[in-house]
Amino acid sequence: MKKIKSALISVYYKDGLDILIHTLAKQGVVFYSTGGTQAFIENLGYTVIPVEELTSYPSILGGRVKTLHPKVFGGILARRENADDLAQLKQYAIPELDLVVVDLYPFEETVKNQSTLFAGELTSEIIEKIDIGGISLIRAAAKNFSDTVIVSQKNQYGILAQFLEENDGNTTLSFRQEFAKQAFAVSSHYDTLIHRYFSLQQANETFKESYLQGETLRYGENPHQAGFYYGNINDVFDILNGKQLSYNNLVDIDAAVHLISEFSETTFAVLKHTNACGVASKPSVLEAWKAAFAADTISAFGGVLITNASIDIATAEEIDKLFFEVLIAPDFSAEALQILMKKKNRILLKQKLFNFPNKQFKSLLNGVITQDFDKKIESSDELKTVTTIAPTSQQVEDLLFANKIAKHLKSNTIVLARDKQLIAMGCGQTSRVDALQQAIHKATAFGFSLQGAVMASDAFFPFPDCVEIADKAGISAVIHPGGSIKDQDSIDYCNAHQMTMVLTGIRHFKH
């Protein structure tokens, strides 16, 4: 156990700091501080020794240099069991500093508020939020955790105060080491954010990602695998009801929110194992739900449901008839929640407005691959009609609708749709023909006629076999990226059989 006798305190965030100050003062701790923190402590009625008095140097360069001095860092880094270190402290009149309470300038928050980069240059506001003294103090105190306590986050103020109350102003080695570990996490995260910002306008030479918050999941994809989530789910959703989100829940939820983001009109989607098995855009949320559910009433069991419209009581009553894992919506009426919350394990998420990251990554082999998120959404004026028969306005709507869904299904994929309703899909197949035949089989199994339906493919047709199969099933319009050296074979077949075909020029593989 080590007694805290002196503390250097200089923080940006002062919420809750008063509790710690009162606790330290009650135990006779000597305070050293700077600027606004010094004034804060003095306003609480306690004496503070200014750092300028300790170092005999004023704060200079507009506050850029305040604590960077041997009399500060010597007091932090001195090894209390080392006679030479203690002799030097005495020789140069350096006080031992047993506690350092420091946080960092809000670089991350400032970056979030900067909407643009001007010609790749960092703004002066960003530059001034790159902390130098604070990060140095944190690293120094964390390094010397055998003698010094480092508080690097505001959520630790109360934790330390309580520990000191319970231990008569003393800390244990394990306590100091845990706070040091957290301090190095803070410093590493901070440096990663700065590196990421500097790299925005350049090709990344190194891969760095950092998430400070995390939680242990019940397990990973399977019960024998450990699982952990790094992030803050509360930034994305209000969790209104249900059990703890699992690894598989999170994977499905991620797929669901990306899919629904494609649609501006009232839309409902049902997903299973990240693939959409039902999607519909209709005038009302109830109509959208019924049409989405009808596409595959079997796969919807135990699925993830999502809509971009508020859930009303009529829709809730219909959804309540189905067993499902998760329901996501931007809002719920009070009456709808009363119905849906009757089952305590049913997960209900109210989605907030948030920005998707621009990059995605995953580990493989002995490294990581990263890419831009596929945020491309085709519009009607980008479509290239390549057949003699042009699509009708209704067909164009259905083609674009089907193309959005195909983008979010595992390759190889085929989507069949009509009247902005997913009729059936085939996905994750090794052959595009297999994907189409799977879709046709599903449509037939659920009683759908394919007469006048449209077909979307995530990649081109290397042979005319798919359009021939589609034609014989009653499909009248096709959308795909094009780009095969044999595109003309499929176009010729469509022209010979009164079908229409449009090309997007954009491939949407999803592996």
Active site residues: 143, 273
Pairing between β-strand 237-241 and β-strand 347-351 as defined by DSSP bridges: antiparallel
CA dist 171 and 162 (Å) reads 11
List the one residue out of 34, 195, 51 whose CA is nearest residue 111. 195
Which pair of structure tokens corresponds to residue 226?
Answer: 């450990």
Q: Which long-range contacts (CB under 8 A, 24 or more apart) does 277-286 make?
A: 277/303, 277/422, 277/425, 278/422, 279/405, 279/421, 279/422, 280/420, 280/421, 280/422, 281/401, 281/420, 281/421, 282/420, 282/421, 285/309, 285/310, 285/311, 285/312, 285/315, 286/312, 286/314, 286/315, 286/318
Token reading at 466: 């798919």
Is residue 437 a contact partner of residue 426, using CB atoms and an 8 Å limit?
A: yes
Strand partners, 171: 2
Closest CA to 174 of 139, 145, 212: 145
How far from 374 is each of 209, 258, 279, 327, CA to CA, in Å? 20, 10, 20, 24
Asked if residue 361 lies in contact with residue 370, where contact means CB atoms within 8 angstroms, the answer is yes
- C-beta atoms surrounding 99 within 10 Å: 25
State CA 346 to chain mean position distance: 23
